[in-house]
Each structure stands twice: as structure tokens, then as C-alpha cells.
Chains A and B, each alone.
Chain A
Amino acid sequence: MLSEIAIIVVRGIAIGSIFSIIAMSFNIVHGATGILNFAQGNMFVLGGFAAFFLANGAGVPLWLVMLAVSAMLVAACVTFQGWITLLPLRSSVEQDSWLISTVAASTIIGAVLLITQGPYAYNVQGIAPSFRILGVRTPGAYALAFGCMLFWFVALRLFLTRTFSGLAISALSQDFDAARAAGLPVRRLQLVAFAISGLIVGSAGYMVAPVISVTSDAGLRYVLNGFVAAVVGGIGSNLGTLIGGPLVGVVTMLTAYRIGGAYQDLASLLVLVAILMLRPQGLFGRSSARRV
């Protein structure tokens, strides 16, 4: 009984860390462009595929090199996709176009993976040894997920507050027109934001590949859970995702253990609907002033 609770909490937080990471990758792009990239889940899965093809069963040095390679490969994909998405946009508010093109991009990536890799789940060997926590034997990749979340939280915070590009991206998120008027290279900054979001999901997908489903159709599930985490935390708030992600993770784990694995996605859908009904700005979101 007690061990079951421990399993639910430990694994829930670990899986939730992944959702939190995806939510952070949403936030940086959303701040800079107003876009929520639906293809982010498939980009995350691409990281998992990279782990399978580049570093399955590799030793630590090769694994580390390939981590950087994979993150950069995915970042290149996301940047290219971001470039395409931004092409028809003159401002950040025309949202029909990005909504459609990111969903289309997500479908294309999923379709290409299906055609080239088939509908199979790929097993990736972990680099980190399993360990015991709260008396529960836990795969090492779970610890990597948690660490990856903390790493990106700190890295993003430093980037957004200490570097010129980061500050400029923060400025974009606060007042797009003013930032443009102040002469910031808006389009370049937006591509930087896409690239960073690619580094985030690429590195995360690579590191946690052993414990996620590396399949052609898994992307949508991750993008949705990442979105729920972002909404629970409040879109735009990375601090919020640190709570939102693990919360969603524990809820889905609880559902899996108590009701059945098939109901996990239903549980996160219900969490999403509930939070949108009760507190649409999320736990840490600010309700922005309306402009007339």
C-alpha cells in the first residue's frame, strides 16, 4: 500500500518533469511569438529516436557527445519549422495561420516517422543505473528527467534575465510592438526562441528515451500533457510548470494505478477542462490587462 503510494509519487513526479520540460519549451516560444507549437511533442519524440539511433547502449563519453548532437539536431528541426511558421505572419496575432501550420507540421513529422520507422515502439537502453528512493526501485532515466527539468528551469531563468537576447525575448513577451519599435531584431529573436525550445525538447527526449514510448504516434500525447502542465502552472510561467508538470504526472500515475492505464489521457483532459473552467489563468499566471 505504502509502496504503491511511493511508486505513484516518485514516477508521477518524474513523468511530470517531462511534461514540465515540454511546458517550458512552449513558454519560451509563446513569449516571443504568441505561438503555441503543436509540433513540440513530435520534436520531443524525435529526441527519443535520436537516442535510439545514435546512442543506444553507448558508454558515458559517447552518450554525452550524442546528447549535444541530438539536442542540436532537434533544435535545427524546430528552428526550420519555426521559420516556416513565421513566414506568413506579419504580426504575432494572426493565429489561424500558425495554429494550422503547426498542427500540419506535427502531422507531417508523425507521418514521416510512421512511414520510415513503422508503428513499433523502440526500446532504448538507459545510461543511468536504476536506484532506490522511498524503497522503490526506479529507472535512472527518471532521475535524469527530474534533473533535466531543474537544469532547464535554471538555464532559462539565467538566459532570460542575464543575457541580452534573453532580455530582448522577455521584452517581446511583454510588449511586441514596443519591442519592434525599439529596433529589436524581432524575427531573429523569435527564431532563437524556437531554437532554444528545440534544444529543450531535444535534450529531454534524448535523456528520457528509456522511459517514454518512442513511437511515431506518441508525440500528440506528450504535447497535450505538456500543454496541460503549462495551463495548470499558468502559460508563460516557468515556475508554474515546476508545479503543473509534477501535478499532472501524479494525477495520470494515480489514474493508471487506481483506474487503468487506458484512462491516463482522459484524466489529464479532465484536469485541463477543470482548470480552464475554474482558474483559466493557471496557478501562477497573471491575467493580462485587456487592451481596447
Chain B
Amino acid sequence: MSATAGQTMALPPAAGKRRFSSDLPQVWIGMALIALTGFGPSLVGNSYWVHTFQLVNIYIAASVFQNFLFVDAGQKSFGQGVLLGLGAYVTAIFFGLHNYPFLAAAAIGIAAAAAGGLLFALPALRVQYFHLGFVTLSAAIVFPQLLMSLDRWTNGINGIAVSMPDLQKEMVFGLSPLTLIVALYPMAALWIHYFIRRSRLGRRMRIAAISPEAARTLGIKPGVMRFIAFIIAAIGTGVCGVLYLPTVAFVSPQGFNVELSFVFFFAVVVGGRGQMLGPIVGMWIVFILPNIALAQLVEYRLLIYGVLTLVTVMLFPDGVVGTIERWRLRRSVAGRGEQAFRVDAFLDTLGAGHDATPGEDVAVEVRGGLKKFGEVVAVDRADLTVRRGEIHGLIGANGSGKTSLLNVLSGLSRLNAGSFVIDGREATRMAADRIADLGVGRTFQTPRIFSQLSLWDNLRIGIDARVGAGDPGVARLAAALEREFSEDSADLLSHGQRRLVEVMRTVLKEASIVFFDEPAAGLSQSERANFAKLVTFLSRRMGKTIVIVEHDLDLVWGVADAITVMDAGRVVATGAPAEVARDPAVQHMFVGGRRA
């Protein structure tokens, strides 16, 4: 079965496609640039540039973590300078003032930075958007004030000087251990960013950042994702602080004011948000230009930071690297039309053979569900019973409460009264991610397709959300999809194809209960027919329980085993399609054909 399927899906070969993501080449270019600036000055013996690029490379590493936090986790932090400062200052206090061994002091310093990250991360569990921008900006303002006023521990305005001559000793080719370490660290930071982005954690973080509600229906807790991202970035930036200490040999409150945090943030924006090379190019422009190239204008540097950033946002919102990257993609991307995403051939790979029929036991049951938005009653004491394996149509006019009920069932909103059970589990108070983990999947009226991810990654987040061991048939399907779509963009898919991607995502998630929210809206006549076949396949061949909210009554009557009709939040009829069609409460919906 799978062998023949392998042949039927011999679509146009994937060879010759340009890579969808340029992350890896960018990392290698970044490595080369850092090596050049990190080691080059030592080789030619220019001590001024040696020292300059030691600091620049530390700042680049901090910006790499800012970039990760900003784009992969969607968190705009204006306080990364604080975390660097914590790492540097705490290390300096223990090493310089209390004579701890450097590594022990460094460990305490990194722990302090992580603790600082915790202060940012805790509110991130609850809130997002600009709130965190203000929290982190406050921290950036408060931090130097505290360094001044806690002078009993910090030496206040006098700062702390340290001396580490061993690290500055030249080894071979004029390289000192310090030069080596501060060049290797940003390289390592780039790889860390790259591998996190490619990992399951990284994908889930990105989905949580782009579409929190879609993330929650994939079993992701967006708050936890933000929290983890803040902690990773804090530790990474704390290490930058530790390296800052031997490089500058001195810490003082003025070194860690809000300006430092702005440099990291602005470097990411100017270089290109989300691009691996962004922080490097951005730091060269934002930091080197005013501080070194135009050193006589040093008091204008804040103005230069601000103007560069504003101009970037206005003219090249993707930043320097992002603009180049966009240009590259535009040249390479060509739509594949109908071929861009078809699933019929792939479904053969599944080899799911059992002919499932709806059972008698209950998969989803709502009792007296009441959902109010302010004074508006969206769902009015509704009862709903969905048997296992059946296709259950949920119909009614716009505003009759169908989607509200679906949102309740997938945990995106909570009932004000009443209760519901999924697979025998009381789920009324469950959060969306826990309901997802019960084996529930859903699609949205507007498909949640993420242009930042490749087409394959858009599907793969379904696998990422799977609970427990996978079905071998689905694993074969996944492998076939990966071969075909790993370098494709999801950007140029048609609306119907986007729907299919979302449906396939729930297949890969191996959801046993699937909610479709107006899946046929915007589909052509033939796409509707194909979709109806797909729904039947999912139910009869794969044994899934399906609830389908839909206005196309022909489609619903064509596939459904049971139908529930809602009107003004109440359930007015429920039962087998033929019965429901005869119900007087429903008849008026069919005037002029079967369209509600």
C-alpha cells in the first residue's frame, strides 16, 4: 500500500527549489564575520581594534538573545542591558570585592541575571504586548539608580575595577584567551538561536507569539513559552555580562543605563528582526557608527540611535538584512498553483483500513451551557450530544451561537453556567491547552497559517502537539509531506489550500475529536466536494469524531450523521438529518434552497 502510494505522489520533484529559510547560511556568514572582526585585529596587531571588537562582539551576543526574544518569542524587552549589567556587576562584586574565584563569581553573576529575567518573565505569564515593554523599560531605568543607592554593596558611583592579566596574555598569533572567548561566545549564541528555532520548543514558541489562541488549541501555554524565552535570554545575556567584566575591567552605574538596553534593541531592529545576521549588521551600524567611526560626535550618539531606528522603521521595516532577504525570496518564490498543496494522494499513505461507524458512546456532551458576553447571551442553556465517530453538523443563522459554543468546547472561552464533558472527562473549567491534550483539534474561520514558517513546519506543529505515541500510518504520511513541502512557503497558498493545511494539521496531531469552524466558507464548488470527501474519510476511515459548524446546508446534509440547529443561542432541534429537515422550527431555513 505505502509503496504504491509513494509512486502516486510522484509530484513535480522537490529538487531545484530554493531553500525556504536562509537561517543556516546566515549563521555561517555570521560566524565568518565574527571571526574576521574577532581575530583579525589580533593577527595584524592592532590593539585598539582588538579591544573595540571584544566589546562589540559581546554586545552582538546580547543582541542575538534580544533577537530571539523579540521575534521567536514575540517579546519586546527594553531591559536586556539590565541583565547584562546584573551578570557583570554581581560577578564584579564577588570577584573584585570579595575575592571569590572568578568562575564561582561568574556562576553567581549568571544566576543573578537569571533572577532578573525572572522579574521580567513573571508578568509575562499573565500579560503581553506593550505591558512588558514598560516593565522592562522601568527595570532599565531603576537598575542604575539601585547600583548608585546600594553603595554598601556596589561601591556606588565609584564602581568596581578588576584586573585579570592572565586572560589578556597573548598566546599564538597575538590572540589572548579573552579575545578567543569573546569571539567564540557570539558564534555559540548564533548556533543556540538557530537550534532553538529549529526545535519543537522553538516552533511552539513562535506559534504562541504569532497566534496565542491557535497555540492554545495546539496544547501550548503561551505564558509558559514567554517565560521560558525570557529565562533563556536572561542566562545568555548574563554570560555576556560575565565576559564584559574582564573586557572592560571596570563596572560603574553609568555603564548600564537605559541607553545600553536601547542599543541592543535598536541593533536588532536596524539589522533585521528575526534574521540570524541581523544583530551583527545592526550592532555594526548602531554602535560602531556613532561611537567609533564618528567618535567626535559622541554626544550625538543617542540622536543617531534614534534617527537610524526611526528611519529603518519608516523605510525598511525589515531592517538591512531583512530587506535583502525579502528581495531574495521575492525573486525565488513562484506559486505552484493547484500543485502547491494537495492531500488526496497523501491520504493513501495512511493505509488506515478499518471502516469505522459511529458508536453509541458519547464523545462530547454539553449540559445547559450558558455563555454571556456582557449582557448578550451568546449560548442560552444549550444541550448537545455528539456520539463517538459521528459527523455532527451544527447549523444556524449568523449570531446564533455556533462559534461561541465551539470556542467554549475548545477552551478558548468559559461557560458562565452549565458544563460539558469530553471523552468522559469533565472539561468545563479546563484551559484550551489541556482540552487540546485530551485529543481535540480545531480549525478557525480564518485559517491560522504562519508565513514565517515553511509549509512543512506549518503542518509539523500538528505533530508537535500530539500526545502519546504516533500511529505508523500517520508517521508515513508525515514523512511524505516532509519530503514534499519542507522548502515550500505557505504564503502563496490559495484559501482552499490553507484550509486543507489546517485540516492536515489536526490529522498529524492525531486529534480524535475535531471541530471545523465554517470550513467551506470561501471554497469553490469543487473544493467543497473534495472537502466533503475528506471529512467523510476522516470519520469513516480514521474514526474521528467531527463537529462541523457550517452555513452550506447541502454540504452538511451530505455528510452529517446528526444535526443540531441553533437559533439565538438556543438549541431548537437536534437529531438525524432527515428528522431535523422535517422539524417545523427548522423549515424556514430552507426557503429558497438549502442555505441558511
What is the interface of chain A, defined by CB distance below 8 A to chain B?
36, 38, 84, 87-88, 95-97, 99-101, 103-108, 110-112, 114-115, 220-221, 224, 227-228, 231, 260, 262-263, 265-266, 268-269, 272-273, 276-277, 280, 289-290, 292
Contact = CB atoms under 8 A, between A and B. Distances in A.
Interface string B243-258: 0000000000000001
Nearest to B444: A292
Nearest to B137: A224
A280 B412 CA distance: 18
A265 B145 CA distance: 9
17 contacts: A38-B137, A87-B314, A99-B133, A101-B314, A103-B309, A105-B310, A107-B305, A108-B310, A115-B299, A227-B134, A260-B149, A262-B146, A273-B119, A277-B123, A292-B213, A292-B412, A292-B445
Nearest to A259: B149
A114 B299 CA distance: 9
A257 B507 CA distance: 63
Contacts of A38: 133, 137
A272 B310 contact: no
B555 interface: no
User: Top 8 closest A-B pairs, CB basis?
Assistant: A107-B306, A262-B149, A108-B306, A111-B302, A111-B303, A104-B309, A104-B310, A269-B138
A88 B139 contact: no
A10 B159 CA distance: 37
A269 B314 contact: no
Contacts of A97: 313, 317
Contacts of B195: none
Nearest to B517: A292
B127 A220 contact: no
Given A224-B141, A265-B141, 6 more contacts: A103-B309, A111-B303, A115-B303, A224-B134, A263-B149, A266-B142
B317 A280 contact: no
Contact of A292 (B262, B313, B407): B407
B388 interface: no
Contacts of A103: 78, 133, 262, 265, 309
A262 B134 contact: no
Q: For the complex, would chain A's binding face be called helix, strand, loop or mixed by DSSP majority?
A: helix
Contacts of A105: 306, 310
A140 B146 CA distance: 32
B279 to A, nearest CB: 15
Contact of A99 (B130, B142, B149, B307): B130
Interface size class of B (residues with CB under 8 A): 35 or more
A41 B24 CA distance: 42
B134 A100 contact: no
Contacts of A115: 299-300, 303
B76 A96 contact: yes
Contact of A84 (B133, B266, B314): B314
Nearest to A265: B142
Nearest to B145: A262
Contacts of B273: 96
Interface string B526-540: 000000000000000
Contacts of A36: 130, 134
B590 interface: no
A269 B306 contact: no
A289 B133 contact: no
B413 A290 contact: yes
Contacts of A96: 76, 273
Contacts of A262: 145-146, 148-149
B305 to A, nearest CB: 6
A207 to B, nearest CB: 25
B526 to A, nearest CB: 28
Q: Is the interface of B mostly helix, strand, loop or mixed?
A: helix
A33 B307 CA distance: 23
A108 B135 CA distance: 21
Contacts of B307: 104, 108
B48 interface: no
Contacts of B412: 290, 292
B429 interface: no
Contacts of A289: 373-374, 413
Nearest to B120: A273
B309 A100 contact: yes
B126 interface: yes
Contacts of B444: 292
A120 to B, nearest CB: 14
B269 interface: yes
Contacts of A276: 123, 126-127, 131, 135
A100 B267 CA distance: 12
A88 to B, nearest CB: 6
B340 to A, nearest CB: 26
Contacts of A268: 138
B153 interface: no
Nearest to A276: B123
B497 interface: no
A101 B310 contact: yes
B403 interface: yes
A292 to B, nearest CB: 5
A263 B141 CA distance: 11
Contact of A110 (B131, B302, B310): B302
Nearest to B136: A269
B122 interface: yes
B129 interface: yes
Interface string B308-321: 01100110010000
A260 B146 CA distance: 11
A292 B300 contact: no
A107 B445 CA distance: 41
Contacts of B145: 262-263, 265-266
A292 B130 contact: no
Contacts of B123: 272-273, 276-277
Contacts of B137: 38, 220, 224
B193 to A, nearest CB: 19
Contacts of A100: 269, 309, 313
A46 to B, nearest CB: 15
Contacts of A228: 134, 138
B303 A266 contact: no
A273 B122 contact: yes
A87 B145 CA distance: 36
A114 B306 CA distance: 13
Contacts of A231: 131, 134
A119 to B, nearest CB: 10
Given A115-B300, A220-B137, A272-B135, A266 B146 contact: yes
Interface string B155-179: 0000000000000000000000000
Nearest to B119: A273
A95 B314 contact: no
Given A111-B306, A266-B142, A268-B138, A104 B300 contact: no
Max chain A Cβ within 10 angstroms of own Cβ: one of B258, B266, B309, B403? B309
A212 B412 CA distance: 46
A273 B135 CA distance: 7
Given A115-B303, A265-B142, A292 B403 contact: yes
B134 A88 contact: no
Contacts of B314: 84, 87-88, 101
Interface in B551-592: none
A156 to B, nearest CB: 21
Contacts of A263: 145-146, 149
A97 B213 CA distance: 22
B138 to A, nearest CB: 4
Contacts of B265: 103
Contacts of A269: 135, 138-139, 142
Contacts of B306: 104-108, 111
